Amino acid sequence: LKRRFGASQNQSPPALPSLPIIGSLLSLKTDRPPHIFFQELQKKYGDTYSFMMGSHNVIIVNNHQHAKEVLMRKGKTFAGRPRTVTTDILTRDGKDIAFADYSPTWKFHRKMVHGALCMFGEGTASIEKIICREADSMCKTMGEMQSLAVDLAPELTRAVTNVVCSLCFSSSYKRGDQEFEAMLEYSQGIVDTVAKDSLVDIFPWLQIFPNKDLKILRDCVSIRDKLLQKKYEEHKTNYSDNIQGDLLDALLRAKRSAENNNTSTQDVGLTDDHVLMTVGDIFGAGVETTTTVLKWTIAYLIHHPQVQTKIQAELDRKIGRDRHPQLSDRGNLPYLEATIREVLRIRPVSPLLIPHVATTDASIGDYNVKRGTRVIVNLWSLHHDQKEWKNPDLFDPGRFLDKEGGGLCCPSASYLPFGAGVRVCLGEALAKMELFLFLSWILQRFSLEVPAGHPLPSLEGKFGVVLQPQKYNVLARLREGWEKGQALSTE
């Protein structure tokens, strides 16, 4: 293939056919989800190839060598983000972190949020305590719904939402809360319509025509913005220079201190819009990603009861029934950790990451890349690469354990569930704590199975800004000997 496309030195990557204005649209027509289609195109065009999306040049990277060059070795060069119609609606023209282009403002906000998230690790209201409080409440509710066929999604979402809600706003939601129900609805509307490379993102002029998805997105964003604005007003009223309780307080403090120093808040990007959009990002990312992974994990555990039994045996051996799992148990539960890693491999939350943009003329391997080119790292291809993984489509947590089965390992370099480099996920540590605690709490006392007469959960994802599983029902059965243990409390 290399010879055929002449990839010797400093050439353009192999390209799909393209026409003026519409670009390669005709060659991109498919009913498959994009990450799978892009993986298949490798057979014809090689691991790294390009096409035109309207007037934009796009490069797809399908192997880990090129992915690491883009994300790590040349991370800064490829740290740009494209502006698209849908993400501009969500983020008021990129005034957030995830969809903001590479700029001093993006750097500033990223650093601040990173600092705030690190700070929450300590203190009385530590993240661990918050997560355990929510895990406890979730397990109690699951106990009440025992032996019923239920969709666990709303309870999982509420637990995860309350963790980020505590971090961002120092608040949480009770079951059946109106505001929480509204949040569930608008957030799904956003996930369904934003950053899907729909036609308006390729041809921005299509906005002038009525468009159902764009209307859903605008309506949902407007509901979200009202909620964020309300939280912002509440914080402004209760703000004190000394108390820095949550992320929104931390952002407010930075804004006020810049104002007091007579720094133009416009320069560093500390306008009200920036503060709101940044919190919106962390709130949105905090909810949708972790919930999605929990749903995938439960779906896979139902398909593979032997994996579930093995995790439970490990929990019984290392923790027993007299106490709850805690973060310090993480090193002692390698099989559970391996299972989480395998779920993040086989169903990556963000199979195409978020598109990157070359901020200068650059190169990937032997290929020249022009400034402004969009670079999409196909994480799905990396995680399902036959050369890197034995039976990549098989769910096998054991692949992350060393030969003796006692320690964790990473059998391939082709594994980047959180991305890497300057744009690496900001919530990796938080997400890992949540996944570990929520899953260990659930599996310590419940066995999850498919209810009689219900189908097994589908393992096919719905492609969007996150790869979500389809809805399914579960039966959570209290494990033998747990009737007593239920009385355990977090105190």
338 interacts with ligand PLO by CB under 6 A: no
Assess 427 for contact with ligand HEM (CB under 6 A): yes
Residue in the shown chain whose Cβ atom is closest to ligand HEM: 427
Maximum CA extent, the chain? 70
Tell me the C-alpha distance between 176 and 222, whole Å: 22
Among 217, 250, 349, 369, binds ligand PLO (CB under 6 A): 349
Tell me which residue has its CB nearest to ligand PLO: 284
Stretch that binds ligand PLO, among 184-192, 266-274, 386-394, 438-446 (CB under 6 A): 184-192
Q: How far is CA 121 from the centre of its chain?
A: 20
Binding mask 62-91 for ligand HEM (x = CB under 6 A): ---------x--------------------
What does the alpha-carbon distance between residue 455 and residue 59 come to, in Å, rounded to a whole number?
Answer: 39
d(CA 190, CA 221): 7
Q: Is 214 helix (H, G, I), strand (E, B) or coil?
A: helix
Candidates 80, 325, 419, 457; binder of ligand HEM (CB under 6 A) is 419
Residue 289 makes contact with ligand HEM by CB under 6 A: yes
Q: Which of 7, 41, 98, 254 binds ligand PLO (CB under 6 A)?
A: 98
* DSSP, residue by residue, 220-272: HHHHHHHHHHHHHHHHHHH--SS---SHHHHHHHHHHHHHHTT--HHHHT-SH
The alpha-helical segments, DSSP class H, found in 304-427 are: 305-318, 334-346, 379-383
- Residue 189 near which of ligand PLO, ligand HEM, none (CB within 5-8 Å, type-dependent): none
CB 281 within 8 Å of CB 202: no
Q: Is residue 349 close enough to count as binding ligand HEM by CB under 6 A?
A: yes
If binding is defined by CB under 6 A, does position 418 make contact with ligand HEM? Answer: yes
Closest contact distance (angstroms) between CB of 89 and ligand PLO is 11
CA–CA distance, 104 with 112 (Å, rounded to integer): 12
418 touches, from ligand PLO, ligand HEM, none (C-beta below 5 to 8 Å by class): ligand HEM
Is residue 94 within a helix (H) or strand (E), and if so which, with residue range?
Answer: none
Token pair of 401 as six digits:
């354990």
State how far the Cα of 43 lies from the Cα of 41, in Å rounded to an integer.
Answer: 5
| Residue 89 interacts with ligand PLO (CB under 6 A): yes or no | no
Which range in 30-38, 82-90, 324-332, 346-354 contacts ligand HEM by CB under 6 A? 346-354
Q: Which residues contact 329 (CB under 8 A, 6 or more apart)?
A: 318, 319, 440
* Residue 135 engages ligand HEM in binding (rule: CB under 6 A): no
Pull the structure tokens for residue 461: 């994802």
191 binds, among ligand HEM, ligand PLO, none (CB under 5 to 8 A by kind): ligand PLO
Name the burial class of residue 273, with classes exposed (0-12), middle (13-18) and buried (19+) by CB atoms within 10 angstroms of its CB: middle
Interaction partner, residue 293 (ligand PLO, ligand HEM, none; CB < 5-8 Å by kind): ligand HEM
* Interface with ligand HEM in residues 254-283 (CB under 6 A): 281-282
Kindly list the residues in this chain that would bind ligand PLO in the complex (CB under 6 A): 98, 187, 190-191, 194, 224, 281, 284-285, 288-289, 349-350, 354, 465-466
Instruction: Return residues touching ligand HEM (CB under 6 A).
Output: 71, 97-98, 110, 281-282, 285-286, 289-290, 293, 344, 349-350, 353-354, 417-419, 423, 425-427, 430-431
